[in-house]
Amino acid sequence: MMSCRGVLGFWLVFLSYMVCCTVAWNGLSRNDFPEGFIFGTASSAYQYEGAYNEGGRGASIWDTFSHKKGDVLGNANGNVADDQYHHYKVSP
């Protein structure tokens, strides 16, 4: 049985997906926002780095949370994520 947090997480992801689909379908544009509206985005290292337990990286609060069975839908975690830890290249 899925925990309450797991169910809540599922619905948050589902509703976010539905909003994104609706926005894309209806052709939302810059003109739909008031003058002076400032757009913003956010991300976290957890979403990009991956490399769980490598290179001296200690467990983050999200590593601990996502490794507890039943707290995340499908028991997903960020062990690999976008794996920028292994894809990062230093320019010469």
DSSP state letter for 36: T
| pLDDT on residue 20 | 67
| pLDDT on residue 35 | 93
In b/e form, how buried is each residue of 54-84, taking b as 16+ CB within 10 angstroms?
A: eeeeeeeeebeebeeeebbbeeebbeebeee
Binning pLDDT at 50, 70 and 90, where does residue 4 land? low
pTM for the full predicted model: 0.45
Q: Quick one: CA dihedral 12, 41, 85, 63, positive or negative?
A: negative
Task: Give per-residue pLDDT as tens, 14-58.
Answer: 777 766 666 556 677 888 889 998 888 777 777 778 888 888 888
| pLDDT on residue 25 | 63
Task: Give per-residue pLDDT as tens, 52-91.
Answer: 888 888 888 888 888 898 888 888 888 888 888 888 777 7
43 burial level (CB within 10 Å; 0-12, 13-18, 19+): exposed
